[in-house]
Structure 1
Amino acid sequence: MFSSAMSALLVLLLASVVPACAAGSGADTSTVPVRHPVEIAYDQAVAAAASADWEACLDATRRALALAPGQPALQRRHAEALAQLGRSDEAMQDLRALVGWGVEVKLADFELLAPLHGHADWPQLLAAVEAALAPQGTPGLSFTMPVADLVPEGICHDPVDDVFYVSSVARRKILRVARDGTASDFIASGAHGYLAGLGVAVDAQRRRLWAVSTAQADDGLFDAATVATSAVHVFDLDTGSLLWRHVTAQRDSLGFNDVCVLPDGGGAVAVSDRGQVLRFGPDGGAPVALTAPGAMPGANGLCVGPRGDCLYVSAYLLGIMRVDLGDGVISAAAVPGADFTTSGVDGLYLLPDGTGLIAVQNFLGLDRVARFRLRADGLVDDCRVLTARQEMFVDPTTGALAADGFHFIADSYVSPFYGREDKAVLTGFGRTRVMRIGLE
């Protein structure tokens, strides 16, 4: 999800106040400033640019890109430093790569790129920006939700019963949806203390459904005693009964976002506003911190790697990161110098054969489903866009892998819902379409 829990991150990589907690320990409710190394390097680049120290700016952005390959704002800053140093051909090379990533960027508006305006290839570069934003691929319709104004955010597929489970932000429920779009409530609105519905994940082997939900001030759905809480629910898939739940304390102000099932039957939960991943055991109880707070800015979609020994996690603005499930060590998933971006990933999934990741990206005009190839060493070395920027797309969020392809929420209306001025308005968000795209 990209909503209020994420909106503070739009001004790239700002410092935040997060709870102190070491990886592998229980969650600590104290608060201390925690800054990611990329945040620090970015701020150094900005400071160097302000004093026209372009060599220092170049060095800082280079260091930041080594930690977050393919990060669009860092790539642009790197090009600006090169342009100011008179290295126009290198700057143009950076910008061609940036444009090729498919992000929406108005290059002509950045004053520090002015030295490039006289470059012979500048007009072609501006034309390439527009061309890169054209629709790609042709997804088919899986089904249309039979109920309007759900503002669905999460979706998963149960291969045993061949049905989908869809979470609703606005109606605070989970729906069970058949292939033909016929739907019924898996849980009713607000049942078991379910909040605004976000990530869901099926454990087909153990017949469980994991679900995370959260209460934010701009939901307009919750009273003062509930705002700033989140919950994990685990249900029996076959009976619909609640097996266990964990609700956070309001003082901790944790914004749970997404969830995936771990090899041991537990679950990993992304906490966006704390830049952290928590780990729950199969039978509940208090979580432990898999990563320290602030280590995963904007933590969002996540999935287990092909060998079961790591997680791939979307640090929303930085890109996809790898987290070792044993020691919590974090590293960039993309190869150094990647000519694609893994930023802006909402839903993230491992292909059944373990050869790649499927991602829904919804930042900086990407609005696409992409397939990222995994090398034998687990690094991402290639990106192929399956579909992008279709007319019906309004905040595509998450998806579900099935035997016939990837099914994804095309028009969630999450941003308009969270951004509405009158919080009493709960209509006007349409009947969401779930689209399907092949994996080849």
Structure 2
Amino acid sequence: MRRLLLLAALLTACTPRGAPSEPTGEAAPAMLSEAEVGALAGAYGKLGGSLGRQDHAAGLAALDAAAAIDGSNQAIDYLRAQVLAAGGRGEEALAVLSRLDAAGSLLVPQAHDFPKLGGLEFDRLVAAARARLPAPKSARAFTLADRALIPEGIAHDPRSGTFFVGSIYKRKVVAVDRAGAARDLAVADATNGLYSPLGMKFDARRNSLWVASAAGPEMQGYVEAEHRGKAALHEIDPSTGQSRARYPRESAGRHLLNDLVIAPDGALYVTDSEAGEVLMLRPGPGAQFESVAPAGEFGYPNGIALSDDGSVLFVADFVRGLTAIPLATRQLRVLPHPRGAATHGFDGLYFHRGALVGVDNGAGGGRIVRLELAPDLGSIVQVKVLEAGHPDFLIPTTGVLDGDSLVYIANSQLRSFEGGQIFPPERLFPVQVLRLSLR
């Protein structure tokens, strides 16, 4: 989540993410080698550093290096247009978007990605891309009327049918019953120490709701001196909302516990995006976080998934792309993938029937992608876009598997802040949660 806000600030809304332009068809796609995906990660690392310095020229050079490795990846050109626009080179940015248009790209230019552009040509490019989008496949699962929720995480109890949705702005978790009626379940107070809820998972074995929370200026009551870099993992009673346990991240430095997954043996694996680290926690009295991938190993780890047998972790990261971590060895491996496939921007990440399903909340209005894995889980062999540019999309974030469906937040509205204040109600929308069949 915070990757969106951080990079938006660095580039006046420049968030590099994937594009619905992956190879399709029956022929086996050409693959990037391990050396190439490693070099691509290096280019993205240089890009991130240059954006931190607001050095647009260096950012463009990094994108040149990325394009030299995988020139068929349309997300690179979309990002190039963002960097050009942010650097005041609007005509050149429009020329890049026009090139994508001529190629029949499904990437719909987003106003929040190009705040310095506008006018008739930009509007024409947006309309042309929208006209090429396939018919939506997702259906509405339920709607939350509270426009100021700004949700990011969602979980599901299959026994009761209850969904749980976290509110970044209001620092609370709401429970939604089978009929779609919502109630406040857990609200931040002095007893639970809840910050902005991000990733959430329901633990059927313990009948618990696990919530990763992190402090940020977009949450109510934020005080820089008190909250900066604070994060915690919470175990919550899913019926009463009472706190059962709280595990704060207390090591030195800034932390942002972002997403989590529960292993078959009950261990929890969590991404710490600010620290660039992947952690493991075995719940219980005196439990401490253990590092699985050390701090600084990742640029900004976000979504995390686990193979059904609990043997391999998968981590989504802006710099590295999709990384596999066999837990027996803890040796990180960036997954080789087909040329043209954008793998550097997934927020939610899920393992489903031998494949990864990712929520990409960026370039071109958002998409849901299925990434088929090789039998040894060591590479991505095919990429299929399941949904792109749905009319409800406004920065989709995360979802939860419900059988063979993904139920996900379609319009988080994460960028709905200006001057430290949330947008007024008339600029916000009811929250739409969608259901997409993965069959």
Q: 2:380 and 2:373 mapped to 1: Cα distance?
A: 5
Q: 2:229 and 2:46 mapped to 1: Cα distance?
A: 31
**Residues 262 and 268 of structure 2 are in contact (CA less than 8 Å); yes or no, is this contact kept in structure 1?**
yes
Change (3 A) 1:426 1:325: farther
Q: Pairwise mapping of residues 269-418 of structure 1 onto structure 2 (< 5 A)?
A: 269-283=270-284, 285-335=287-337, 337-351=338-352, 354-365=353-364, 367-378=366-377, 379-403=379-403, 405-416=405-416
**Residues 220 and 424 of structure 1 are in contact (CA less than 8 Å); yes or no, is this contact kept in structure 2?**
no
Q: How far does residue 286 in structure 1 lie from its aligned partner after superposition? A: 2.3
Change (3 A) 1:425 1:364: closer
**Residues 185 and 240 of structure 2 are in contact (CA less than 8 Å); yes or no, is this contact kept in structure 1?**
no
Change (3 A) 1:64 1:168: same
RMSD of aligned C-alpha atoms?
A: 3.9
Q: How far does residue 331 in structure 1 lie from its aligned partner after superposition? A: 1.1
Q: How far does residue 317 in structure 1 lie from its aligned partner after superposition? A: 4.8
Q: 1:403 and 1:43 mapped to 2: Cα distance?
A: 37
Q: 1:423 aligns with which of 421, 424, 437?
A: 421
> Is it true that 1:245 corresponds to 2:246 in the alignment?
yes
- Percent sequence identity over aligned pairs: 27
Per-residue CA deviation, residues 396-423 of structure 1 (Å, 9 max, x unaligned), is 001111136211111111122xx42142
Change (3 A) 1:324 1:316: same
Q: Which has the larger radius of gyration?
A: 1
Q: 2:238 and 2:193 mapped to 1: Cα distance?
A: 18
Q: 2:287 and 2:222 mapped to 1: Cα distance?
A: 25
**Residues 199 and 213 of structure 2 are in contact (CA less than 8 Å); yes or no, is this contact kept in structure 1?**
yes
Q: 2:5 and 2:47 mapped to 1: Cα distance?
A: 23
**Residues 171 and 194 of structure 2 are in contact (CA less than 8 Å); yes or no, is this contact kept in structure 1?**
yes
Matched to 1:257, the amino acid is N
Q: Pairwise mapping of residues 152-231 of structure 1 onto structure 2 (< 5 A)?
A: 152-190=151-189, 192-219=192-219, 221-223=221-223, 224-231=225-232
Q: 2:435 and 2:394 mapped to 1: Cα distance?
A: 16
Q: How far does residue 386 in structure 1 lie from its aligned partner after superposition? A: 1.5
Q: 1:316 and 1:281 mapped to 2: Cα distance?
A: 27
> Is it true that 1:259 corresponds to 2:257 in the alignment?
no
Q: 2:313 and 2:130 mapped to 1: Cα distance?
A: 35
Q: 1:73 aligns with which of 66, 71, 76?
A: 76
**Equivalent residues, number:** 370
Change (3 A) 1:196 1:61: closer
Q: 1:389 and 1:275 mapped to 2: Cα distance?
A: 30
Q: How far does residue 233 in structure 1 lie from its aligned partner after superposition? A: 0.3
**Residues 168 and 218 of structure 2 are in contact (CA less than 8 Å); yes or no, is this contact kept in structure 1?**
no
Change (3 A) 1:285 1:133: farther
> Scaled by the length of structure 1, what TM-score is found?
0.72
Q: 1:41 and 1:422 mapped to 2: Cα distance?
A: 29
Q: 1:396 and 1:380 mapped to 2: Cα distance?
A: 23
Q: How far does residue 371 in structure 1 lie from its aligned partner after superposition? A: 1.4
Per-residue CA deviation, residues 114-164 of structure 1 (Å, 9 max, x unaligned), is xxxxxxxxxxxx99x947962553311100014331111100111121211
Matched to 1:153, the amino acid is E
Q: 2:169 and 2:255 mapped to 1: Cα distance?
A: 19
**Residues 101 and 341 of structure 1 are in contact (CA less than 8 Å); yes or no, is this contact kept in structure 2?**
no
Point out the more displaced range, 421-430 or 160-169: 421-430
Q: 1:313 and 1:438 mapped to 2: Cα distance?
A: 23
Change (3 A) 1:102 1:270: farther
**Residues 212 and 258 of structure 1 are in contact (CA less than 8 Å); yes or no, is this contact kept in structure 2?**
yes
Per-residue CA deviation, residues 10-39 of structure 1 (Å, 9 max, x unaligned), is 6799xxxxxxxxxxxxxxxxxxxxxx7455
> Scaled by the length of structure 2, what TM-score is found?
0.72
Per-residue CA deviation, residues 343-402 of structure 1 (Å, 9 max, x unaligned), is 210111111xx3212211012225011111122111221121121112221110011111
Gaps of at least 5 residues in structure 2 are 17-40, 51-56, 81-98, 111-124
Per-residue CA deviation, residues 311-364 of structure 1 (Å, 9 max, x unaligned), is 1111035421111223321112243x434222210111111xx32122110122
**Residues 12 and 73 of structure 1 are in contact (CA less than 8 Å); yes or no, is this contact kept in structure 2?**
no
Per-residue CA deviation, residues 38-94 of structure 1 (Å, 9 max, x unaligned), is 55677999xxxx99xx9x999x659976xxx969439999xxxxxxxxxxxxxxxxx
